[in-house]
Structure 1
Amino acid sequence: MQKQGTVIRWDATRAFGFIRSPDTSADVFFHVRDYRGSAAPREGLAVVYEEIHVGGKGPRAMAVQPIAQQGAAPQPRPSAKSAPQRARHEPAQRAPKPRTQRHRRPADASGPPTPAGPALVLMLGWVALLAWGFWAGQLPWWVLGAALALNLLTFLVYAIDKSAAQNGQWRTKESHLHLLGLAGGWPGAWFAQQWLRHKSRKVEFRTVYWATVVLHCAALGAWVGGWLR
């Protein structure tokens, strides 16, 4: 489906950028190999593109073309006789040099950032619940090491997915990220969202994320309290 949008970020070093369109809630990724313009992309450029979705990755733009060039009529090629005569009267035109732009992080307008206060208080309660389970003999001590390893793994998976998003590579499915949080890696996921600025402002993802936090804490509390046995 063809859509219109504006280039809000272009990284000339890595040869990729993002397009913002009123028809798509998330910013659309595109690579230089999918760009059809005569000059280099730049921030603020109005374009048309074909939007696709691959697996669990975000939207991607194909056949990106500046609106100013869309539908332009092809210029007739000069004949062999007229070319030398025209060259004597017209100065040679130099190819325009691509303008270098300062790269800035695109603003994500899909929702407000997650507040730190409630999350930290919930983490303290989670740690206290684990400590109570160890002290009361309801949880084996190896659970402490497993919880630490799971949170480190979750943070690492978020970092890998962040790098894949920046380089246009295959992404980790959001369902896999939610499963890690539901298993007990939600504190590591929260720190990854805040420190790496990844998945921190997408409303749909955050809604499911907090649902997994509530389910995990409720299940842990029921186990420690002896209600699940």
Structure 2
Amino acid sequence: MTSHGAERQRGVLAEWNDARGFGFITPSAGGERLFVHVSAFPRGPRPTAGREVTYAPRRDQRNRATASQVQYVGRSTRRAGGPRVRLVTGVAVAFFSVLAGLWVWAALPVTLLLAYGVVSCLAFLMYAVDKSAAVKGAWRTSESTLHAVALAGGWPGALVARQLFRHKTVKQPFRTIFWVTVVANCAALAWFVVEAPIALP
């Protein structure tokens, strides 16, 4: 937890492991290096070693020195990640438009359409909570739970949340498994529409 009255400090991102989504900041004033997770950075280009940053120092539940609320020095804080967020939002909207069309054509029960909406909202909230927990060093939602919700039909909400919160967008094998759940869910939906008997309410 951040100490009361702690001021923002300046340092350099000395090391960065892009594949695993974390690195270490060396304080400009000297002292202990701080662990920093990708979720502590603003949306935009991926962090790179050697960048000068400011940050809020804190201690997580394991008493590690960590950095939160990281900002690049001399860089605009505009939302550079906006295009990707718009892209995945468009994908989610297109998917729900297809579901709505299937319902209109009596190829999909309204209960299934609503279920996709509810589970997608649940997935979005779960990613938001997990991202917050990652920043605070608190108890995390298991990756298997996130994958299960995506497989159950929550992948549109998860897709948007991953880009909006810049969470779970780098780590492997999480990304691969996530896309496997998307394909599996879409395949199951296609089978249901084509093969399963439809009992409209």
Of structures 1 and 2, the larger Rg is shown by 1
Residue 201 of structure 1, aligned match among 153, 164, 170? 170
Offset from partner CA, 1:91-115 (integer Å, 9 cap, x none): xxxxxxxxxx996259xxxxxx895
Deviation at 1:160, TM superposition (A): 0.9
Partner Cα distance (1:184, 1:144) in 2: 10
The one-letter amino acid of 1:210's match is: W
**Where do 5+ consecutive residues of structure 2 fail to align?**
7-12, 36-59, 73-80
Task: Structure 1: give runs of 5+ residues left out of the alignment.
Answer: 1-10, 30-40, 50-59, 66-100, 107-112
Of the three residues 122, 126, 150, the one matched with 2:95 is: 126
Q: 1:19–1:27: 8 Å Cα contact kept in structure 2?
A: no
For residues 152-167 of structure 1, the aligned pairs below 5 Å read 152-167=121-136
Large movers: runs of 4+ above 3 Å: 11-15, 18-22, 41-49, 60-65, 113-125
| Cα offset, 1:189, TM superposition | 0.7
Q: Which residue of 100, 105, 109 corresponds with 1:140?
A: 109
Closer/same/farther in 2, CA of residues 25 and 200 from structure 1, 3 Å limit:
closer
Offset, 1:174: 0.7
- Pick the aligned partner of 1:27 from 22, 25, 33: 22
Q: For residues 124 and 152 of structure 1, what CA distance do their matches in structure 2 show? A: 13
Kept in 1: contact 2:100–2:113 (CA 8 A): no
CA distance in 2 between partners of 1:203 and 1:14 (Å): 37
Counterparts in 2 of 1:219 and 1:103: CA distance versus 1, 3 Å = closer
Contact 2:89-2:160 within 8 A present in 1 as well: no
What is the rounded CA distance, in whole Å, between the counterparts of 2:31 and 2:173 in structure 1? 29
Q: Is 1:177 the counterpart of 2:149 in the alignment?
A: no
Structure 2 length-normalised TM: 0.57
Supply the AA of the counterpart residue of 1:168. Answer: G
Pairwise CA distance, 1:186? 0.9
1:104 corresponds to: 70
Q: Deviations over 1:107-133 (max 9, x none)?
A: xxxxxx895687456435523431343
Specify the code of the residue in structure 1 equivalent to 2:22. Answer: D
Find the aligned partners of 1:172 and 1:102 in 2 and give their Cα distance: 20
**Residue 171 of structure 1: CA displacement?**
0.2
> Which amino acid is the alignment partner of residue 171 of structure 1?
R
Residues 158, 13 of structure 1: alpha-carbon distance in 2 compared, 3 angstrom cutoff: farther
The alignment's C-alpha RMSD in Å is: 4.2
Instruction: Give TM-score scaled by structure 1 length.
Output: 0.51
Identity over aligned residues, as a percent? 35
Check conservation: 1:47, 1:64, Cα contact below 8 A: no
